[in-house]
C-alpha cells in the first residue's frame, strides 16, 4: 500500500512544478527573477551566507557519511 504524502512533500512538489513550468514557458523571466534574488542575497549577506551554506553542506555530508558507515553491507 502507498502511504499518504505529507503536506510538506506536497507543497515542495507543487513549488518545484511551478518553477519548472515557468522555466519552460518563460525562461527569460525566470532567469531575471532568479538573478535578482541571487544578487540581493550576495549583496545583503555576502560572506556570512557563504559560510553558513558551506557549514550546512559539511554537516549534511558528515551525517550522510555516518549513516553509510553505520549500515554495512555483508557480514561484519
Q: Say what the pLDDT of residue 13 is.
A: 93
**pLDDT of res. 76:** 57
Q: How confident is the model at residue 26 (pLDDT cuts 50, 70, 90)?
A: very high
Average pLDDT for residues 52-69, to the nearest whole number? 86
| Mean pLDDT confidence for 23-33 | 95
pLDDT 10s digits, 3-20 = 776 888 889 999 999 999
Other beta carbons less than 10 A from residue 33's beta carbon: 13
* All cell numbers assigned to 74: 555483508
Please report the pLDDT score of residue 50 as a whole number.
Answer: 87
- Integer CA distances (angstroms), 62 to 8, 20, 70, in order: 25, 31, 12
Amino acid at each position: 500500500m502507498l502511504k499518504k504524502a505529507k503536506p510538506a512533500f506536497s507543497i515542495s512538489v507543487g513549488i518545484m512544478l511551478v518553477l519548472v513550468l515557468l522555466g519552460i514557458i518563460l525562461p527569460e523571466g525566470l532567469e531575471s527573477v532568479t538573478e535578482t534574488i541571487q544578487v540581493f542575497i550576495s549583496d545583503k549577506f555576502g560572506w556570512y551566507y557563504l559560510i553558513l551554506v558551506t557549514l550546512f553542506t559539511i554537516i549534511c555530508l558528515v551525517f550522510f557519511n555516518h549513516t553509510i558507515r553505520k549500515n554495512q553491507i555483508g557480514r561484519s
